[in-house]
Amino acid sequence: MTARSIFLTWAPGFDGNAPIAEYTVEFKLSTNSWQESEKRVVKLSTGLLVDGLRPASNYDLRVYAENRRGKSEASRLTTHLTLEAGKRHSEVVLVVLFSVIRNFFEIGKAIG
């Protein structure tokens, strides 16, 4: 984590017996609504450097998975505070590992 970025990783859950095509990382300032969120699409990876953030600000992040069966429900959200700008910090990379097993693929129930 830096003053303007957060590195987020996740573990995929059950994929409904169809390979995951992409993940969508959604993030917002904690004080904003999800309607004001930004989204980034990730293919072939379970990690993303979310950059362009405001220093010393709380951000909420969540992840969706998508495959040919559809889009998952959102993972549990995680909240992180970016560092203050201008201060000297040793390089810190925050790796947020959260399980999406429970949240990611309820798609099979909806389709089946």
Q: What domain range is 68 assigned to?
A: 5-111
- C-alpha–C-alpha distance, residues 34 and 59, integer Å: 11
Token pair 């700008």 in the structure block, residue: 85
Between CA 50 and CA 60 the distance in angstroms is 11
CB-CB contact of 68 with 22 (8 Å): no
Residue 87: its pLDDT value, please?
A: 61
Window from 16-20, 42-46, 105-109 with minimum mean pLDDT: 105-109
- Total number of domains constituting the chain: 1
Q: pLDDT digit string (tens) for 23-73?
A: 999 999 999 999 999 999 999 899 999 999 999 999 999 999 999 999 999
CATH code assigned at 59: 2.60.40.10
* pLDDT value at residue 81: 93
Give me the pLDDT at residue 7, please: 92
Give the predicted TM-score (pTM) of the model: 0.75
CB 102 within 8 A of CB 13: yes
Dihedral sign (CA 94, 100, 101, 102): positive
